[in-house]
Amino acid sequence: MERTAFHTLLTLLFSLLFLNVQAEELYNKEEIQTRLEAMECIIKPRYNTVVENYIKGYFAHDAFKAKLILGRTATFFPIFEKYLEEHDMPEDLKYLSVLESALNPKAVSRVGATGLWQFMKETGTGYGLKMNSRIDERSCPNRSTMAAMEYMENAYKRFNSWELAIASYNCGAGNIRKAIKRSGGKTDYWEISKYLPRETRNFVPAFLGAAYMVQYHHLHEVSPEYPHLDYQLTESELIYHKMPFKTIAAVAGIPVSVVESLNPAYKKGYVPANVYGHWLVLPRRTMQAIRDYIHLLHPDNGSTNELPPLPELVAEKNYSPDEHYYQTFYTTLEGDRLDALGKIFSCSGFNLKVWNNLTDNQLPQGKELLIWFPKELNRYQPFSEKVEVLNIEAKTPKKVENVRALAPKIKPIDPIRLTPIPVDKHPHLPFTAITLSAAELKLAREQKEKKLNLKKMKSWVGKKPFRKKKNERN
Q: Are residues 204 and 257 in the same domain?
A: no
Q: Are residues 310 and 233 in the same domain?
A: yes
The domain boundary residue, chosen from 318, 334, 352: 318
pLDDT for the residue numbered 28: 83
| pTM of the shown model | 0.76
- Flag residues of the chain having pLDDT under 50: 1-2, 6, 12, 14-23, 387-474
Q: Are residues 332 and 307 in the same domain?
A: no
Q: Are residues 292 and 438 in the same domain?
A: no
Q: Are residues 272 and 413 in the same domain?
A: no
pLDDT for the residue numbered 60: 76
DSSP secondary structure letters along 5-64: HHHHHHHHHHHHHHHHHHHHHH--HHHHHHHHHT---SSPP---HHHHHHHHIIIII-HH
Q: Is residue 132 situated within a structural domain? A: yes
Q: Are residues 74 and 215 in the same domain?
A: yes
The domain boundary residue, chosen from 318, 348, 382: 318
Q: Is residue 12 situated within a structural domain? A: no
Q: Is residue 161 situated within a structural domain? A: yes
What gap in Å lies between CA 372 and CA 328, rounded to an integer?
7
pLDDT for the residue numbered 461: 30
Q: Is residue 17 situated within a structural domain? A: no
Q: Considering the chain, what is the average pLDDT of its residues?
A: 79
Within 345-472, residue ranges assigned H as helices are 349-355, 397-401, 438-450
pLDDT for the residue numbered 420: 37
Q: Is residue 239 situated within a structural domain? A: yes
Length of the chain measured in residues: 474
Give per-residue pLDDT as tens, 97-111.
999 999 999 999 999
Q: Are residues 327 and 392 in the same domain?
A: yes
Burial class (CB in 10 A: 0-12, 13-18, 19+), 263: buried
What gap in Å lies between CA 88 and CA 411, rounded to an integer?
35
Q: Are residues 157 and 236 in the same domain?
A: no
Q: Are residues 259 and 193 in the same domain?
A: no
Q: Is residue 122 situated within a structural domain? A: yes
Q: Are residues 31 and 80 in the same domain?
A: yes
pLDDT for the residue numbered 238: 96
Burial class (CB in 10 A: 0-12, 13-18, 19+), 469: exposed
Q: Is residue 15 situated within a structural domain? A: no
Distances (CA, A) of 41 to 103, 211, 212, 396, 453: 20, 8, 9, 43, 56
The domain boundary residue, chosen from 220, 254, 281: 220
- Give the CA count within 13 Å in the CB-facing half-sphere of 235: 17
- How many C-beta atoms surround the C-beta of residue 78 within 10 A? 21
Q: Is residue 26 situated within a structural domain? A: yes
Say which amino acid occupies 390.
L
Peptide bond preceding 141 in cis form (omega within 30 of 0): no
Q: Are residues 144 and 103 in the same domain?
A: yes
Range of the domain at 254: 229-318
Say which amino acid occupies 200.
T
Q: Are residues 133 and 261 in the same domain?
A: no
Residue 370 pairs in a beta bridge with: 329
Q: How many structural domains comprise the chain?
A: 3
pLDDT for the residue numbered 304: 61
Burial class (CB in 10 A: 0-12, 13-18, 19+), 354: buried
